[in-house]
Each structure stands twice: as structure tokens, then as C-alpha cells.
Amino acid sequence: MADPLYDTQAGRLVAEATPGDNAMAVSVSELSGRLKRMVEGEFGHVRLRGEISGYKRAASGHAYLCLKDDAAVIDGVMWKGSAAGLAFRPEDGIEVVATGRLTTYPGRSKYQIVIERMELAGAGALMALLEKLRLKLAGEGLFDRERKKPLPFMPRTIGVVTSPTGAVIRDILHRLEDRCPTHVIVWPVKVQGAGAADEVAAAVRGFDSLPDDGPVRRPDLVIVARGGGSIEDLWAFNEEVVVRAVADCSIPIISAVGHETDTSLCDHAADLRAPTPTAAAELAVPVLAELRLSLDAMRQRSERCARRHVERGRERLDALARVMPARDRLLGPQRQRLDELGARLDLGLERRVTRARAQLDRTAGAIRPAALERRLEAGRARLTDLGRLVESLNPDKLLDRGYVRVEAAAGGTVTSADAARAAGALLLHFRDGALPAQVGEAALAPRAAKLEARPSRAYPEKPDQPRLF
């Protein structure tokens, strides 16, 4: 019998069919396909409980992770549509229950679970995730008291982020109407389920981005509200995207999520937490009736204080009047001083007049009457000569000797025959009056002939008369 260690068939170079062996050689792809069909057929629906490890989100939107426990690990994949519908944000270290189907990945000879749905593994895991996120955001300072903004005393406009169909918005509106009617703008959002966190965060940022002078009035205060429910129902208000939107908002925010015992991370990030939505409306505005009573009470107190101030001032004035000295006692020294100054003034004026009269006498004595008389006499003689010169130059003086002064009727002295003919109407000035005259060719013809027959005499030109002034 041959030794199996030295069986010549074991080291054959070319594969050949062996007698009695029914196993046919298959390809790797064929084997992978058989394994894939077997695994998917046997484990077409499974639920796995494990801790998330190595979670990452690809650019395509698909999520890849591992589920592990103390002894084993399995790869998992969640396609884009399923990943978008998660109610929480997966993180490493969170214990979850994943529902899906097992399959293989031939490219790596590995099996994996295709996750269709994933939930937290009980309230303990949910609280662990919540605590982890709380510590992370608190470490960034999002919950610090220094970040809290004071609420306006009486907001003109209030923005409300909540469901438009629930009882929450009705309770808020009724409470505001009872206390202090205010303009309210509602931004409708989903308050639970997939996409609720993104809608709430978008609403808060939307209110914060409204301009002061835009068509929609910018709120002075924002209320984020939701009714009560389980921690799963309120989970949207624990999402990081909501907490950051509330913390970054420049408008003061009141968080009214759930009832008194419900607490969310949104409450920590808001400027004020209200135990209920109705309480949020009460914290947002004062009671108008109480405000009016307070104003009336303050008005009455102001009037009383004013009257009391006047009364005390009158009392102080009366007290001062009693201790003040009499008028005659106060004014007596001043009156006496006035009399003394008046007497001194009269005496000083009299002395001043006396000195001025003496100075005038001395000045008048210094003037010489003879020189003054000589100057006056010379002035009179000169004035007389000037008068004679003026009288001799008077043109009307010649009228006494038979001369006539001729003027045109329109005005102006006539000194030539041509000017007389041109004027036509003349005015003849004699010594004792003036007569009108008319220049005509018939009247002047005889006289002109006689004048032409007479020999002409040359009269010397008179020198220009000197001007008096």
C-alpha cells in the first residue's frame, strides 16, 4: 500500500477527475453568489442589538458603521433614504437596535447588515445620548448664564414656533388676549418625527433674519413651544441643530417644550424656560389691567409726593420768614449810606461848577477884544465889496438903461437873430416887466432893410465876465 505522504496524485500538476469524487470545481463568483443567496434567504429579516462604532456619512448620503458587542462585530450600511429618516443623530458608543437584512459583499468576502430602521436600545441609551450631547454643548458655553438675554417688558410683536393645528397655539393666543393683546406671528413647523428638528431650527433662524424695516415685522420675542409627551416625542428639541439655532438667535427666546417635568436641551439654550406654553404667554407680557392699576397708583403717589413737597416748602418758607430780620432793620444802613452819598454828590457838583466858572473866567480874560473887532471890520469890508461886484454883474441892471433881455418862450436866453427866428415865440424882459413877441418875415422886412442900409459898426467883443463864485 502506498504511503499517502508520497501519493503521486496529491502533487499532480494538472487537475483531473478523481474516481469516486462528485465535487465539481466552481468559480469564486459562483460560490459568492451561492453564499449571498443562502445568507439573504436565511436572514432576510433580522434585528440586531449592539453599540455603534466607526459611524461615518459618505458624500452620497449613505451611512456606514459597525455594530459590536463584547465578543463580535458586524459591518452595516444604511442607504441614503433610510439614513435621512432617522429620528436621532447616530454617534459612536450609542447602543441601538438595527432592523434589516443580512447580505454579503463579494468584493471583500464579508457579510454585512443592510439597515432599514434603527432605534435607540431603550430609554437608557437615549438618556446616555442626551447626556453626551448636553456635556458637549455645555462645554462650548451654549448654556452659560452670561449668554442669556433679558426679555422685553412689553413686546410689540411675538413670534411663535409651534404646530399650527395643536392646542398649544390656541392656549398661547387666548392667554395673550386675556393678559395683554399683542401682535403674534406664527411660524408653523412639525414638532415631532423625521425632519421636525430641521424645521424648528429653520423657523428660529428665519425670525432672526427678518429685517427691522421689512414687510413682515421682526419679533421682539420668540416662543418655541410644544405640548407634553415622552422623551421620544420631544426628541426634536434635543437635536444639536435646534439647540445651536436657539443659542445663536439675537432675539430673546422663551422655551416652552412639554410640561413642568419635561426638560429638553432647548430649554437650557433659551433665555428663559417656561413650564408650559400657557406659562410662556404669561411670562411674555404683563397683565394690562394690573399695569393700568400700577400706573394709576404711581400717578396718585406722584401727586401726593408733589403736594407734600409743596407743603414742606411752604412750611420751610414760613419758618425762614419768622427768623428773618425786619425790612427796616435790613435796609436801614443802606438808606443811611444812600443819604450820605446824595449829600456828597451835591457838594461835589457844586465844587465842580465853581471850578468850571473860574476856568471860564480865566479863558475869557485871555481873549483880546481889539483884535477881534479888527477882524470883524475886515470881514465886513470884504463882504461889502463882494456885494457891489454881484450887483454890477446882474444882467437885469442894464434894463434901466433901455436894454431888453430876450428869452425864447420855450426857455433859454436868445443871443442871435438866427436863434430868434428859430424860436418864433419870444419873451422880452424890460425893466418893469416882460412882454411876449412873435418873430415873422413881414414884421422884420422894413426894419431889416433899414439895418442893411446903415453902415455897420464893429462892436468890440466883450471879455468874459469873471465868475463870482
Which set of grid coordinates corresponds to residue 209?
A: 433674519
**CA-based max dimension of the chain:** 208
CATH of domain 28-120: 2.40.50.140
pLDDT band of residue 343 (cuts 50, 70, 90) is confident
Mean pLDDT of 176-193: 90
Fold of 155-285: Rossmann fold (3.40.50)
Are β-strands 405-408 and 425-430 bridged in parallel, bridged antiparallel, or unpaired?
A: antiparallel
- Cα gap 138→130, rounded to integer Å: 12
pLDDT of residue 298: 92
**Tens-digit pLDDT profile for residues 452-467:** 555 544 444 444 544 4
**Tens-digit pLDDT profile for residues 236-284:** 898 889 999 999 999 999 999 988 777 889 999 999 999 999 999 999 9
Per the document, the length of the chain is 469
Mean pLDDT of 382-402: 77
Of 25-34, 205-214, 420-429, 441-450, which range is least confident? Answer: 441-450
- Cα gap 205→350, rounded to integer Å: 97
Instruction: Assess contact for 456 and 437: CB atoms under 8 A.
Output: no
Question: What pTM, to 2 d.p., does this model score?
Answer: 0.49
In the chain, where the domains are located: 28-120, 155-285, 290-322, 396-438
Which set of grid coordinates corresponds to residue 249?
A: 438667535
Of 140-149, 364-373, 403-412, which range is least confident? Answer: 364-373
More confident residue, 56 or 7: 56
In this structure, which amino acid lies at residue 300? Q
More confident residue, 100 or 443: 100
- In the chain, the percentage of residues whose pLDDT exceeds 70 is 85
402 — alpha (psi -120 to 50), left (phi > 0) or beta? Answer: left
DSSP state of 5: G
CA 170 to the chain's CA centroid: 36
Mean pLDDT of 436-451: 62
CA 151 to the chain's CA centroid: 21
Sheet containing strand 425-430, edge to edge, reads: 405-408, 425-430, 433-438
